[in-house]
Amino acid sequence: MIVDQHVHSLYSFDSQADLKSYADFDNRVLMTSEHVELCNSAHEGRDDIPDFAALHSQGQELAEELGIEFVMGMELGYAPDCLSRFLPLLDEFPNAVALLSIHQDEGTDFALLGNSTSRYDRHDFCARYFSRVQEAIGALGRHCRILSHLDYPFRYRHIDAAYVFDEFSEEIHAILDSCQALGLAVEINTKSMFKYHNLDFYELLLEALEEHHALPITLGSDCHYAKDWHSHWPEASALCATHGKTKYVRFHCDGSSQLQPVI
């Protein structure tokens, strides 16, 4: 079974899940990827930075007791005005697995913008978003290991995936090229696929990834409750394999990584 490498516990501002509930005995690992949201528009503009020192010591202690490995992850929500404030965190925990996420536009989370972004027609909306993704990769990509949920704004403003991949094929392939150049894995996010009904987007993303053989993938449930951990794993693993992605990249606590079979 693939390791779930996008997981939130009570160290994230929007989860109450117990760290221990994510002990993966099959893979002998305990991993979470807690939110770092600076100027968090989904939380009255405050800086949400987990207590990583406490997480690190609790995670280590727990993993030792259970005889498994603790891997600390952080999901960095790209905030163009706060870039310098990410760096001390990354310096302090150089082996943490950083996920790069683009949650906002002009300082407001897409979850809050929802359909109010209709001041932009669908073309301009997509064009703005994909250029933000490139900007985020340029700014923080070299510090990160995973590009998370590329469909994020389409969770909240539905735009037909066939339109997105037809019209923005060049931009999407350029993003995948940037990921490859920086060694960023591309996440297949099961919460997006099933809870937010963006399965079509991920089918087309996996099709696009067929042209990027060397680009690794990861799987993330993006769960905030232990009950959603590994959500829809068999369907997602099978879909990856169908598109020739028979391996995913697994990260370890010492910063190393290895390719493992998806099924």
Residues engaged in binding Zn ion (CB under 5 A): 75, 101, 222
Of 119 and 227, the one with the shorter C-beta distance to Zn ion is 227
In the bound state with Zn ion, the residue whose beta carbon lies nearer, of 134 and 246, is: 134
Distance of closest approach, residue 176 Cβ to Zn ion, in angstroms:
19
Number of alpha carbons in the 13 Å side-chain half-sphere of residue 237:
15
Q: Label residue 107 left, alpha or beta by phi (over 0 means left) and psi (-120 to 50 means alpha).
A: left
Return the number of the residue (121 or 224) whose C-beta is nearest Zn ion: 224
Residue number, 222 or 228, with CB nearest to Zn ion:
222
Question: In the bound complex, which residue of the shown chain has the CB atom lying closest to Zn ion?
Answer: 101
Q: Which is nearer to Zn ion, 37 or 69 (CB)?
A: 37
Least distance in Å: CB of 189 to Zn ion? 8
* Cβ 243 to Zn ion shortest distance, Å: 23
CB of 47 to Zn ion, least distance (A): 16
In whole angstroms, how close is the CB of 101 to Zn ion at the nearest point?
4
Cα–Cα distance measured from residue 162 to residue 90, given in angstroms and rounded to the nearest whole number: 37
